[in-house]
Amino acid sequence: MKLSLILAAVLFSSFGWSQEDPAGSSKDDLHVSQASGEVSITSRGNDVRTVLFDLFTQAKKNFVLEPNIHFALYLALTGVEFDEALAVVCSTADLKYELNNGIYFISKLPERAVGSAKPIETPVAPKPLGKLADRDLAKRVTTKLSKADIRAVFAELQAQTGVEITVDKGVPNFRVDAYLVSTSLKYALDVVTKAAGIEYVRTDNRTILIQKKRSTN
């Protein structure tokens, strides 16, 4: 009878211990697990040193951490490859790692020196090519255009001489008759611009600009 009571007391005490409320025990904020070559990490403010230590311990890999590294990590990774998890941790904490002879050496990313940023390059304006010479305006043209848009007339003059002619957007869309037989480009420009009440100038980039007449006041 005594033996039965003793066994019952032992069984009761064992049952009571196994059923102890887990809420009474402290819960770690950091959890690292590994399965089938993948790892899972959950960290709620743990220092990166602790996270790395547990990560490498679970993965059974060697690492060396540079001294004086501190960073509070908040992350949750589930079922990722070890290298990917390590890359995420290092990127978040501004760290880098190198693998040498099977050992991961982890250190801080170098701080960017003040003033080391590449200066913004200011676009350099192209060097002027110079004005067209009189011989360029002596090239011969022939046109037989009736009530043609003035821009079409200048485009034809450009096509025949190879001299670039730009019409300013402020020039109205005049319609002109341009009957010119083997005349110089200069004469053609003089006639057409005079008829339309506009003017042309030689630019510094070896082109002709057609524009409204500028005020002489």
User: pLDDT tens for residues 155-198?
Assistant: 999 999 999 999 999 899 888 888 999 999 999 999 999 988 99
10 Å CB burial of residue 203 (0-12, 13-18, 19+) is: middle
Count the Cβ atoms, other than its own, within 10 Å of residue 143: 18
Q: Which residue has the higher pLDDT, 117 or 90?
A: 90
Residue 200 phi/psi, 5° resolution? -125, 150
Domains and CATH numbers, the chain: 28-108 (3.55.50.30), 134-212 (3.55.50.30)
Residue with tokens 């082109």: 207
Q: Is-contact 19 29, C-beta < 8 A?
A: no
User: pLDDT tens for residues 98-143?
Assistant: 999 989 999 998 876 445 566 667 777 677 778 898 999 999 999 9
How many residues are recorded in the chain?
Answer: 217
Confidence of residue 34 (pLDDT cuts 50, 70, 90): low
> Could you give the CA distance from residue 117 to residue 48 in angstroms, rounded to a whole number?
29
Q: Is-contact 74 45, C-beta < 8 A?
A: yes
At 216 the pLDDT is 61
